[in-house]
Structure 1
Amino acid sequence: MRKFVKFLLIVIAAFLISCTNNDEGAPSFPEGSTESVNLWVQDSMKRYYYWADQMPSKPDYHLPVKDFFNSLLAPQDRFSFIVNTEDSSSYPRSIRNMYGFDYTVIQLANGEVVTVVKLVLKDSPAFNAGLERGMMITRINGKLITANNAESITSSMKDQTALDLKVGNWKNGTIADEKDVKVYYGYSFEQPLLSKIFEKNGKKTGYLYIYDFPDGMTSVLNQKFAEFKSAGVQQLILDLRYNYGGSVSSAAALCSLIPSGITSGSPFILFKGNKNGGEVKRTFAEQIAYDPKALGFNTLRANALGLNKVYILTSNSTASAAEIVVNNLKPYLQVIQIGDITLGKDMAGFTVEDKRKPRKVSWQIHPVIYKVYNANGIGEYNKGIVPQVKVNEYMELPLLPLGDPGETLISSALNNAYLKTTAHKEVRILYQSDVPGIEGKGW
């Protein structure tokens, strides 16, 4: 189930949490009981949870563990979750992590409602079944998709192990060449970086699509930027539109490769926790080094492009460490954000689990622990980071492959972000398979 763990904003070695509550008058329960597990959960959350001061003082210890955990959460918390490592069904599920694709229901200018495949992961069940970005889905398990039933259809898909899809291609304003595709539940492999170099108006522009930020990715980032630098790239487009996040260290490594004028001591990020966590400040070098597999700051800087401007493509699926890239580059260069508003996860956390030997609690907590800020102390984007240039990627169908210079968001960046601002209003986004449910997106 490491797919669920790799999206964590900060992947840190789990902390040893005692099952014992030393508070005077604390309840005592038989070891191994549901109540004793709930007491462990409460003690852990008191120590680490960002909103620990909002937790109920007298929770119901007799609740099932997941219900008990949810009863502790602050109303504004959209991201904390808990899983039982001995029960795979307790892990959050999404269409993307089960089948390897995502889709969007849109309303065209003429009022017609259609469903577009927006993302297909490489070497995923959907990819192996022949699904491609830009295809149109007309039916899922025999049901015609509408704006009213899309959410319930998506929810039902999470309880199945196979999907029967009817798909077609968008041609001359209509869906043609329909066929049946069967997609089975399965594993999606690590996603590769996609890089291109475009030349326009005498300038070379590097394009880099990054699906997520796993630990250990500094070597491949370093290689891509070495290629950009060798080719004489003068501008950069970062495509983070479907990036849920991952390791802050990998995000810091990416950021170190872009601007001019930074040093190993330049501040990168500020973490603010509860009264126990306090504030933690880290420089670029310190945050990168938090990943033991990472290349050093100076090694990365040898291939830095030294730019004073970067274009970043975003959507409602841009979250967590990807949002940190957008926000934490701003003190060091001009960030031109193109696309749609981001998800709004200005939080960080790490995994909390019982490390005693033998282990007495099989549950694993993924709580919100910190708020994150950039070098200028700017954060608080829980409602999302708004782009300077709002562009709807569905304004022209069919959707072109990622990396195609004619693709809507990429062409907008290549045209120096000058695009008619009225065009995106012709298409309404009614539903996105990866946006309504937060749980399971990871960190």
Structure 2
Amino acid sequence: MKKYFNLSMLLFTAFIFVLSCNRNDDEVQRFPDGSRESLNLWVQDSMKRYYYWADQMPAKPDYRLPVKDFFKSLLSSQDRFSFAVDTQDPTSYPRSVRNMYGFDYAVIQLPNGSVVTTVKLVMKNSPAFNSGLERGMMITKINGKVITAANAEALTSSIKDQTVIELTVGKWENDHITEEKNITVYYGYSFEQPLESKIFEKNGKKAGYLYIYDFPDGMTQALNQKFAAFKAAGIQDLIIDIRYNYGGSVASAAALCSLIPSGISSASPFIIYKGNKNGGEVKRTFAEQIQYDPTALDFNTLRANAVGLNKVYILTSNSTASASEIMINNLKPYMQVLQVGDATFGKDMAGFMVEDKTKPKKISWQLHPVIYKVFNANGEGAYSTGIPPQIAVSEYASLPLLPLGDSEETLISSALNKIYLKLKGENALDKKVKILFQSDTPSAAIGK
């Protein structure tokens, strides 16, 4: 099953292949091969080599702990993201409502004090989509239990341990829930999400809109096609919607960035990685970073369809994370970035998967540690508390939630109003609507 919050960014593929110990014999604690202690020693050696906070790891950890607990005992208190999985144990993988059932929801308090739960995201061809669930529907019950602010988190946790859930849903009309019905959603696979685009036009001025669910490797061909259409249409403005984008491949994020601004070349610096004493500092240009996806179109091919703008509007939320935040931050040295929505999640870090590559493989565990802090071409980063928007808007300010791509949808209309009417941005989010709980907190999606 696809993991939607992907920490494996394939920055250095060579690092994935070799994980041997380099201690002197008199320093090595000897444990029987295949023992829990020997597995934990491998975990410790791997983390000493790559982990960003390696110098903070305990000098004498307890090798008798279960592997997952041992891994957690090595982590810095500053680390919200590193995790480990056993490929032979499906229960060790991160679970979330989104990656199990293909939807997400938010529990919000309205200005009149009432609490409602709205469906915010339904993935295409997901179990939720196939059951008839739609963005903007209201959920009143999960498995027969009424959702409240007090039990929302517990209900969400409970459905991660099930393979089928019953939802009572309805429509939001005139500030009331109508046409309630029960639907069944089964655990299952969600297919790769398509890019969705539109072109809005008013008074002869065209604005392109592109919704991007995540940044998998292998998406450059689709990006290139969308921007070829934008360029052919002669768009003068661009809206990128990454409000629910957990991230993924930095190479794909770099490819998207290469298609937007004017005045960049293959030699233009894109990103700076800063690691521990072993990793040091690594700089990558746009072209170099794109090449880390072996299936990607090259920089010059992509630039042929670049729209060459000096300003871009980017729609964000608290679920905008990782490679999505890199895209926002790393475009700033080259153009004006107007962020619309809510502050991002705050993952200013990157990593890659660490695993045993011996043949036959002796260790089934995979480690996903934080390895680098990331910065843009100007050395700007450090957004661990999130990147704040210039135009702060709550997408829940108007219910029901409209389909993504609808010109009247709250975040999209806010960007279009700025484009066409030159309205000033709001100074703060709408305080009348309070978000009490959201099922798609990225840290929950990675098992923390």
Return the TM-score normalized by structure 2. Answer: 0.96
From 102, 105, 108, the equivalent of 2:104 is 102
- CA distances 1:163-217 after superposition (whole Å, capped 9, x unpaired): 1000000001100000001101110000000000000233100000000000011
AA aligned opposite 2:434: R
Match of 1:16 in 2: 18
Matched, 1:430 2:436: yes
Identity %: 72
Q: Distance in 1 between the 2:425 and 2:149 partners?
A: 28
Residue 247 (structure 1) shift = 0.5
Q: Distance in 2 between the 1:212 and 1:23 partners?
A: 46
From 284, 303, 320, the equivalent of 1:282 is 284
Residue 393 (structure 1) shift = 0.2
Question: Is 1:163–1:182's contact at 8 Å kept on the other side of the alignment?
Answer: yes
Runs of 4+ in structure 1 over 4 Å off = 4-7, 419-423
From 228, 244, 257, the equivalent of 2:230 is 228
Q: Distance in 2 between the 1:2 and 1:423 partners?
A: 33
Question: Is 1:165–1:180's contact at 8 Å kept on the other side of the alignment?
Answer: yes
AA aligned opposite 1:148: A
Question: Is 1:319–1:343's contact at 8 Å kept on the other side of the alignment?
Answer: yes
- Secondary structure of the corresponding residue to residue 58 of structure 1: coil
Q: Distance in 1 between the 2:19 and 2:302 partners?
A: 36
Change (3 A) 1:297 1:177: same
Residue 8 (structure 1) shift = 3.2
Question: Is 2:81–2:369's contact at 8 Å kept on the other side of the alignment?
Answer: yes
Residue 438 (structure 1) shift = 3.5
Question: Is 2:7–2:353's contact at 8 Å kept on the other side of the alignment?
Answer: no
Equivalence map 1:12-411=2 (5 Å): 13=13, 14-18=16-20, 21-22=23-24, 24-411=26-413
Question: Is 1:391–1:424's contact at 8 Å kept on the other side of the alignment?
Answer: yes
Q: Distance in 2 between the 1:427 and 1:250 partners?
A: 35
- Secondary structure of the corresponding residue to residue 444 of structure 2: coil
Q: Distance in 1 between the 2:136 and 2:416 partners?
A: 21
Residue 10 (structure 1) shift = 3.7
Question: Is 1:272–1:370's contact at 8 Å kept on the other side of the alignment?
Answer: yes
AA aligned opposite 1:432: Q
Q: Once structures 1 and 2 are overlaid, which stretch shifts more, 195-204 or 126-135?
A: 195-204
- Secondary structure of the corresponding residue to residue 3 of structure 2: helix
Q: Distance in 2 between the 1:361 and 1:441 partners?
A: 21
Question: Is 2:138–2:171's contact at 8 Å kept on the other side of the alignment?
Answer: yes
Q: Once structures 1 and 2 are overlaid, which stretch shifts more, 355-364 or 432-441?
A: 432-441
- Secondary structure of the corresponding residue to residue 176 of structure 1: strand
User: How many residues of Structure 1 are paired with residues of Structure 2 in the alignment?
Assistant: 442
AA aligned opposite 1:425: K
Task: Give the RMSD, CA atoms, in angstroms.
Answer: 1.6
AA aligned opposite 1:325: M
Q: Once structures 1 and 2 are overlaid, which stretch shifts more, 343-352 or 1-10?
A: 1-10
Gaps of 5+ in 2: none
Question: Is 1:312–1:335's contact at 8 Å kept on the other side of the alignment?
Answer: yes
- Secondary structure of the corresponding residue to residue 201 of structure 2: strand
Q: Distance in 1 between the 2:17 and 2:425 partners?
A: 49
Gaps of 5+ in 1: none
Residue 437 (structure 1) shift = 3.9
- Secondary structure of the corresponding residue to residue 426 of structure 1: coil
- Secondary structure of the corresponding residue to residue 17 of structure 2: coil
Change (3 A) 1:23 1:145: farther
- Secondary structure of the corresponding residue to residue 384 of structure 1: coil
- Secondary structure of the corresponding residue to residue 415 of structure 1: helix
Question: Is 1:79–1:438's contact at 8 Å kept on the other side of the alignment?
Answer: no
Residue 24 (structure 1) shift = 3.5
Question: Is 2:7–2:351's contact at 8 Å kept on the other side of the alignment?
Answer: no
Residue 61 (structure 1) shift = 0.0
- CA distances 1:293-349 after superposition (whole Å, capped 9, x unpaired): 111111110100110000000000000000001000000000000000100000000
- CA distances 1:326-373 after superposition (whole Å, capped 9, x unpaired): 000000000000000100000000000000011111100000000000
- Secondary structure of the corresponding residue to residue 410 of structure 1: helix
- Secondary structure of the corresponding residue to residue 30 of structure 2: coil
AA aligned opposite 1:424: D
